[in-house]
Structure 1
Amino acid sequence: MTNLNLSRRGFLSTASAGLVIGVVLPEKTRAQSGAATAFDPAADPATFAPNAFVRVAPDDTVTVLIKHIEFGQGPNTGLATLVAEELDADWSQMRAESAPANDELYANTLFGLQGTGGSTAMANSYMQMRKAGAAARAMLVDAAAAEWGVPASEITISKGRISHPNGTEAGFGAFAEKAATMTAPAEPKLKEAKDFTLIGTDVPKLDTHAKTTGQAEYTMDVYREGMETVVVAHPDKMGAVVASFDDTDALKVPGVIAVREIPQGVAVYAKTTGAALKGREALQVTWDDSKAETRSSAQIYADFSRAAAEGGRAAEEVGDAMAGIDGAAQVIEAEFHFPYLAHAALEPLDAVLEVTDGKAELWMGSQFPSLDKPTLAATLGVDPSDVQINVMFAGGSFGRRAQPTAHVAAEVAEIAKAAGGNGSWKLLWTREDDMIGGYYRPLTVHKMKGGLDADGNIVGWHDVVVNQSIMAGGPMEGMMKDGMDPTSYEGATKMPYDLPALKVDWVRQDSPVSVLWWRSVGHSHTGYATEVFLDQLLEAGGKDPVQGRLDLMKGDAGRDRGVLEKVAALAGWDGTKVKGDRAYGVAVHESFNTYVAQIVEVSDQGGFPKVHKIWCAVDCGVAVNPNVIRTQIEGGAGYGLGSVLFDEVTLGEGGTIMERNFDTYRMLRINEMPQVEVAIVQSDNDPTGIGEPGLPPVGPAVANAWRALTGQAVTKLPFTKSVGV
């Protein structure tokens, strides 16, 4: 047998002996996880595992091991489509399971470690998964040719059936065992785009049935024998720590087993969830706020604004922006305020950990298994090889589960460590825990200044971005360059517009408030600030919002131009910004190598914007599954719309976090969701991200429409703060 593996760079390689491990599913409680059990060809010789990603069973089903967590964005379907395409499988025979934690086999080729984020799942897997499918196909063909005694060149595969012109035909399963003895091609032949039958079609999502029937298992569904449920009392000021606690009343609650202090707070162990929550309510904790953030949001904004006025380090500079502005016929200034934002995923954080005789097994919606695994091992004092992670379905993330600090894994490990010995524990975060738990989208200030000449042309542009760094001080700090965190200002730099003089500065601020990437990361605020300010400059210069942008676009901004022209045609843009009681706004923004332009239709409903429709054009390279692309754009637009209209996490006097549930952290409601029409631009470029790029343009497009309708520029988000509703 041959050894077929995929390296970190995504290439197939062969060696002289031994079939590379596929992975098999253990018992049902491991749910969607492929688990860490090695595939044993001696125990299951009828299953064909040509590489770490593909398994072909005797019943003709093809299971694809998905190295990226599935929390609604579609990698189970998208990556399985790539394998099925090259394998010439029928979609009905395809299955998907989560891969185990294993950097060597399942690293994100763009990160170098196993993880999901930055809208990279498809981008880093496109060629890797196609090659995995093509290699499996070649080995099945060779097996059939050997079995039938015919040349391999005469074998064809279509919709999961292997056939020969003499009328002989069989399914994949008939050759699964023999295929395992075939030599894997080092560079399997891939299809040309013109021959695709599945890529580019709306194949049904593989996990829809399980999710809609309740069969899909999430971490919340995992129960282990003797398991204790644990909730932790966390501080309501970021950076505070336990000074002392009194557990007398907590221990009187029926079902409460123990109360123990851990580095993250005070943990209440109980037989049931209800008992754990009641025990925590009865707990008396005194917090040490000496190192906590005690400023209010208003005070932080004031400090950031002063820092912006002092200037920062240049992230990008073209020409002499200040000279251009100083010599301008007209100067326009604006200061944009963006609040801390919670991710507010439907499923709050949770984890189940079982420790048995020095070995640990974790069930969790782990977005970075490569970081969670060593954190568990180090905290528990065990070897990483004795830690197994089962990656579960997760009910959303939007960046929240992408934890460089692996703090949830650390917390559940500390819970087990404090208990000591063998056992199993389920850690639950409530919605309130999630809201006050930090790891927010950074509070940000943009101080903007632009100059126009006598003809209304932009002659100078200056943007000072002030916020905390997400990367500094953590495992991702190595991605910073010369102390600069590109995620803090991405999107404010490298704009598609040909401005003669431009300067973008970054000012780093520090705070005990923990921050984290939030859907579209820096683009979530830079897209708003740049596209709203540009619209103001174009208006002041007497320029059309669409044509003005097109006229400014650089020669190499063809894909930006393409989506803007496409959305203008889609929406029937004729240059009229206000028609009756409706106004129209536009924005275009590239993020994660995907180009998106949007036009929105807005009316004034009692002094507050009502968004009726969003037209969107997107260029994300090859559209592997157009339906997934459309739904991700729709979801991103809705998520982004809610964030600019309603959402903020506020620090009150003394630094206390004010918003604790959806009654105060106002999400977009179903009746407020506009109609969304999506046009996917045909492209031969390799696929790029789609989970995040639909978000950045929606906010500025709404703001631009609202200004056209009312004359009011919204520079302080959310709209409820500026509009006053």
Structure 2
Amino acid sequence: MKNIVSPSFSRRSFIKTSSLAGGGLLIGFNLFQACKPEAAPPVDISKLNFNDFNAFIKIADNGIVTIFSPNPEIGQGVKTAMPMLIAEELDVLWDNVHVAQGELDTENFTRQVAGGSQSIRLGWEPLRQTGATARQMLVNAAAAKWGVEASECTTKEGFIFNANGDKLGYGEVVKEAAALKVPENVKLKDPKDFTIIGQDINNVDIDKIVAGKPLYGMDYKEEGMLYASVLRPPAFGKKLDSFDDTEAKKVAGVQSIVKFGDKIAVLAKDTWTAMKGKKALKANWISDETLESTEDHDKKLIELLDGKDFDTMRSDGDIKKAFEDVDQVIERTYESPFLPHNCMEPMNFFADVTDEKVRLVGPIQTPERTAGAVAELLERDLKDVSVEMTRMGGGFGRRLYGDFALEAAEISKVAKKPVKVVYSREDDMSAGIYRPAIKYRISASIKEGKITGYHLKEASINSNMYGLIPNFFPAGAIENYQVDVASYQSKITTGAWRAPYTNFLSFAEQSFFDELAEILEVDRIQLRLDLLQKVKGTTDERIQYSPERLENVIKVAVEKSGWGNSKEGVFQGFSAYYCHNTHVAEVADVVLENEMPVVKKVTCVVDCGIVVNPLGAKNQIEGGIIDGVGHAMYGNFSFKDGEPKDKNFNSYRLIRINETPVVETHFIESDVAPTGLGEPTLPPAGAAVSNAIKAAKGIRLYKQPFIENMKKEKAPLG
């Protein structure tokens, strides 16, 4: 995990170098272990343009560096931060770096994915090695030109210097460098010498974003393209029986109407006309089974918790014995609803299906998986399918699923036209895919004032991504510890939602530990610290978190937040959590206005290793916290007979601008490799707020959203 290394750099992983016909050096590189070792630059380099060699870095003869980024950009900042790693070791001025978005390239890459807060973590050493190797090649070329030893040369801001004071720009030696062998061993910079990493760098697309330049999927258009608005079943579990498109065809501008599966697409030259035509469609829907409602889900999840049909994810000690030999057993059940993703940019995708090829363009987090799914759907060779990625107006896990791209491809095939599917906000909220409703039941056994057993049960809908949560805190801290999971299949489509599972589990567990501290009459912070002491020095390789790092963020959060010394009328709540390889502690400051809680401030301490781009990192931290606070306080999504009750923001409650808290961020200084930031600050936010509400109102919350349940007389409050 340490940075100060001189890694061996395989020529197979570094790929290949070539001279550009127009001048300059083209270097293939292994992008966070995404490039396949056997990958090579395109054969005829002289005919390439920026979109043709996305697997490579180009150093032009004028010293300008172009880095082709193959990973999807969903607002997490990787299109800025990942090139920073290369530029740092290449030792160039950031102003001389140009970043271009690449398209899907399954020949050269193995992981073109945006998800799991893993991009920077996985790219840390490979990307730096890329830059360092390119720099060494340029130095070797300059040294040969001068007739001196390469070890006598230094670099700075795109220039090479020798001991005699001579200077050459990178662009002056790229031709010679292209003919050299790739060095097998390069030395990476010491973090104290960083000039780009650790600096606030603006988003590389910020000027275009502010100016409204075409960057997003919604912006994409082609000559002759038709827009498609799709009528889908109004409820999960319903199927199309028949439809009448007479009135839809009368809408001026409607070009054609296409049925595919249980869906009907109206095609027009603009979105308004297509959507107007869709509203004019008349359809009959049938169901041959009982349609699900939220009450059905609640009942089924409770039945699962009460039942015995569980998969045990981890079992330490003897949980049964621990709960028999006790002074007291504490058991609590926590409940969360379905949630939509609500990306600012609704789902959309372009497809042009011809006999020769299938071309896809749009915002997608999983381009390779989507290309494969389209190829299978259309019964085409995967090599016939190309995917060009646009910037995304939010992903949050929704764009991991390419259902909207498949719709575009299928419609284009039937219509024999290039087609762009565009969702309305109502389409976006009612067509799936959602965070699954989940219930957690947590039990603790207490003997002589100590926690002797801990049993976590999860009941969820469509769950199949339990991941590593059994090995997060408090795993290893309690001798008798067990995690059981159960789920049932629903017609309602579910999937990953920002910080999958931990987004709600953190609230449940951290609220539970606060309540345990009250029952045991011990300090809530000290309870957590004492448990962490038991994990230090563990040899259990299953445990994912570091007790030392988690302990540190807790102590710093206590200090920075003024824990225990808040002003009169300000009530504080604490939580600490580890997920996506990052340790976070948060303190929420809550006040009461008209007897209802208002979150005024959240103090956040983060240990994510070295911070590559503090400006981008703070954006991720603040966004995650506001997202976590907003959904814990207000987010609720329910169903009646398989149909979503809310279909737009007029009824679905989101956090509002005047409700967003001030976020005060503190980073732990570190010399270890960076970890994820897109998701880790969201999970602890709900717990910190709920614990602050307990301090303010004297009631403990077990169900989200908080505000709605506080207003109900029969809300599950303690």
Structure 1 residue 501: Cα displacement: 2.2
Which stretch of structure 1 is more off in the superposition, 440-449 or 378-387? 378-387
Aligned to 1:566: 556
Structure 1 residue 690: Cα displacement: 0.6
For the pair 1:522 / 2:522, whether they are aligned, the reply is no
Question: Residue 17 of structure 2 contacts residue 27 of structure 2 at CA under 8 Å; is this kept in 1?
Answer: no
Aligned to 2:415: 419
Structure 1 residue 283: Cα displacement: 0.5
For 2:652 and 2:362, locate their aligned partners in 1 and report how far apart those are by CA, in whole Å: 26
SS where residue 108 of structure 2 aligns? helix
Aligned to 2:536: 555
5 Å-filtered alignment, 1:37-116, equals 38=42, 40-43=44-47, 52-108=55-111, 114-116=112-114
Structure 1 residue 494: Cα displacement: 4.7
Structure 1 residue 356: Cα displacement: 4.6
For 1:516 and 1:410, locate their aligned partners in 2 and report how far apart those are by CA, in whole Å: 17
Question: Residue 365 of structure 1 contacts residue 394 of structure 1 at CA under 8 Å; is this kept in 2?
Answer: yes
For the pair 1:677 / 2:664, whether they are aligned, the reply is yes
Aligned to 1:343: 341
Q: 1:658 aligns with which of 645, 649, 652?
A: 645
Q: 1:721 aligns with which of 704, 708, 718?
A: 708
**In the superposition, relative to structure 1, how do residues 167 and 120 fare at CA in structure 2: closer, same or farther (>3 Å)?**
same
For the pair 1:308 / 2:305, whether they are aligned, the reply is yes
Q: 2:599 aligns with which of 611, 616, 636?
A: 611
Question: Residue 229 of structure 1 contacts residue 270 of structure 1 at CA under 8 Å; is this kept in 2?
Answer: yes
> What stretches of structure 1 of length at least 5 have no aligned partner?
1-6, 24-35, 109-113, 472-484
Structure 1 residue 73: Cα displacement: 0.7
Question: Residue 496 of structure 1 contacts residue 560 of structure 1 at CA under 8 Å; is this kept in 2?
Answer: no
For 1:377 and 1:501, locate their aligned partners in 2 and report how far apart those are by CA, in whole Å: 49
**In the superposition, relative to structure 1, how do residues 534 and 264 fare at CA in structure 2: closer, same or farther (>3 Å)?**
farther
For the pair 1:401 / 2:382, whether they are aligned, the reply is no
5 Å-filtered alignment, 1:240-255, equals 240-255=238-253
**In the superposition, relative to structure 1, how do residues 104 and 636 fare at CA in structure 2: closer, same or farther (>3 Å)?**
same
Q: 2:680 aligns with which of 677, 693, 696?
A: 693
SS where residue 697 of structure 1 aligns? helix
1:264-313 CA distances to partner (integer Å, 9 max, x unpaired)?
A: 6111111111110000000012223235x712112211111111011322
Which stretch of structure 1 is more off in the superposition, 83-92 or 618-627? 618-627
Question: Residue 358 of structure 1 contacts residue 382 of structure 1 at CA under 8 Å; is this kept in 2?
Answer: no
**In the superposition, relative to structure 1, how do residues 428 and 74 fare at CA in structure 2: closer, same or farther (>3 Å)?**
same
For the pair 1:591 / 2:579, whether they are aligned, the reply is yes
Structure 1 residue 377: Cα displacement: 2.6
SS where residue 530 of structure 1 aligns? helix
**In the superposition, relative to structure 1, how do residues 8 and 434 fare at CA in structure 2: closer, same or farther (>3 Å)?**
farther
For 2:411 and 2:447, locate their aligned partners in 1 and report how far apart those are by CA, in whole Å: 64
Structure 1 residue 450: Cα displacement: 2.1
**In the superposition, relative to structure 1, how do residues 535 and 195 fare at CA in structure 2: closer, same or farther (>3 Å)?**
same
SS where residue 644 of structure 2 aligns? coil
For 1:172 and 1:94, locate their aligned partners in 2 and report how far apart those are by CA, in whole Å: 13
For the pair 1:433 / 2:427, whether they are aligned, the reply is yes
Question: Residue 313 of structure 2 contacts residue 470 of structure 2 at CA under 8 Å; is this kept in 1?
Answer: no
1:401-431 CA distances to partner (integer Å, 9 max, x unpaired)?
A: 112xx312211111111113xx311110111
Question: Residue 50 of structure 1 contacts residue 136 of structure 1 at CA under 8 Å; is this kept in 2?
Answer: no
Give the AA of the match of 2:551: R
**In the superposition, relative to structure 1, how do residues 459 and 636 fare at CA in structure 2: closer, same or farther (>3 Å)?**
same
SS where residue 297 of structure 2 aligns? helix
Give the AA of the match of 2:580: F
For 2:68 and 2:323, locate their aligned partners in 1 and report how far apart those are by CA, in whole Å: 55
Which stretch of structure 1 is more off in the superposition, 510-519 or 658-667? 658-667
Question: Residue 13 of structure 1 contacts residue 186 of structure 1 at CA under 8 Å; is this kept in 2?
Answer: no
1:412-465 CA distances to partner (integer Å, 9 max, x unpaired)?
A: 111111113xx311110111111011111110011222232343x222222210
**In the superposition, relative to structure 1, how do residues 391 and 562 fare at CA in structure 2: closer, same or farther (>3 Å)?**
same
For 1:39 and 1:229, locate their aligned partners in 2 and report how far apart those are by CA, in whole Å: 37
SS where residue 46 of structure 2 aligns? coil
Aligned to 1:175: 173
SS where residue 399 of structure 2 aligns? coil
5 Å-filtered alignment, 1:113-262, equals 114-262=112-260
Which stretch of structure 1 is more off in the superposition, 7-16 or 309-318? 7-16
Aligned to 1:12: 13
**In the superposition, relative to structure 1, how do residues 177 and 170 fare at CA in structure 2: closer, same or farther (>3 Å)?**
same
Q: 2:286 aligns with which of 282, 285, 288?
A: 288
For 2:203 and 2:487, locate their aligned partners in 1 and report how far apart those are by CA, in whole Å: 42
Question: Residue 51 of structure 1 contacts residue 132 of structure 1 at CA under 8 Å; is this kept in 2?
Answer: no
For 1:10 and 1:709, locate their aligned partners in 2 and report how far apart those are by CA, in whole Å: 61
1:163-200 CA distances to partner (integer Å, 9 max, x unpaired)?
A: 33444334333333333222222343322223222222
For 1:143 and 1:377, locate their aligned partners in 2 and report how far apart those are by CA, in whole Å: 46
Question: Residue 632 of structure 1 contacts residue 690 of structure 1 at CA under 8 Å; is this kept in 2?
Answer: yes
Aligned to 2:466: 486
**In the superposition, relative to structure 1, how do residues 69 and 675 fare at CA in structure 2: closer, same or farther (>3 Å)?**
same
1:531-577 CA distances to partner (integer Å, 9 max, x unpaired)?
A: 11111111111111211211111225111101111111111223x6x
Give the AA of the match of 2:408: V
Question: Residue 497 of structure 1 contacts residue 549 of structure 1 at CA under 8 Å; is this kept in 2?
Answer: no
Question: Residue 229 of structure 1 contacts residue 272 of structure 1 at CA under 8 Å; is this kept in 2?
Answer: yes
Give the AA of the match of 2:287: D
Structure 1 residue 17: Cα displacement: 9.1
Aligned residues: 679
**In the superposition, relative to structure 1, how do residues 513 and 607 fare at CA in structure 2: closer, same or farther (>3 Å)?**
farther
Question: Residue 472 of structure 2 contacts residue 579 of structure 2 at CA under 8 Å; is this kept in 1?
Answer: no
Q: 2:522 aligns with which of 543, 550, 563?
A: 543
Structure 1 residue 258: Cα displacement: 1.0
Aligned to 1:633: 621
- Taking only the aligned residue pairs, the percentage that are identical comes to 33
Structure 1 residue 37: Cα displacement: 10
Give the AA of the match of 1:90: L
Aligned to 1:464: 457
- TM-score when normalising by structure 1: 0.88
Question: Residue 237 of structure 1 contacts residue 289 of structure 1 at CA under 8 Å; is this kept in 2?
Answer: no
Question: Residue 491 of structure 1 contacts residue 527 of structure 1 at CA under 8 Å; is this kept in 2?
Answer: no
Structure 1 residue 162: Cα displacement: 2.6
For 1:491 and 1:433, locate their aligned partners in 2 and report how far apart those are by CA, in whole Å: 36
For 1:538 and 1:572, locate their aligned partners in 2 and report how far apart those are by CA, in whole Å: 20
- Cα root mean square deviation, aligned: 2.8
For 1:124 and 1:220, locate their aligned partners in 2 and report how far apart those are by CA, in whole Å: 30
For 2:120 and 2:150, locate their aligned partners in 1 and report how far apart those are by CA, in whole Å: 32
For 2:202 and 2:605, locate their aligned partners in 1 and report how far apart those are by CA, in whole Å: 23
For 1:264 and 1:532, locate their aligned partners in 2 and report how far apart those are by CA, in whole Å: 44
SS where residue 486 of structure 1 aligns? coil
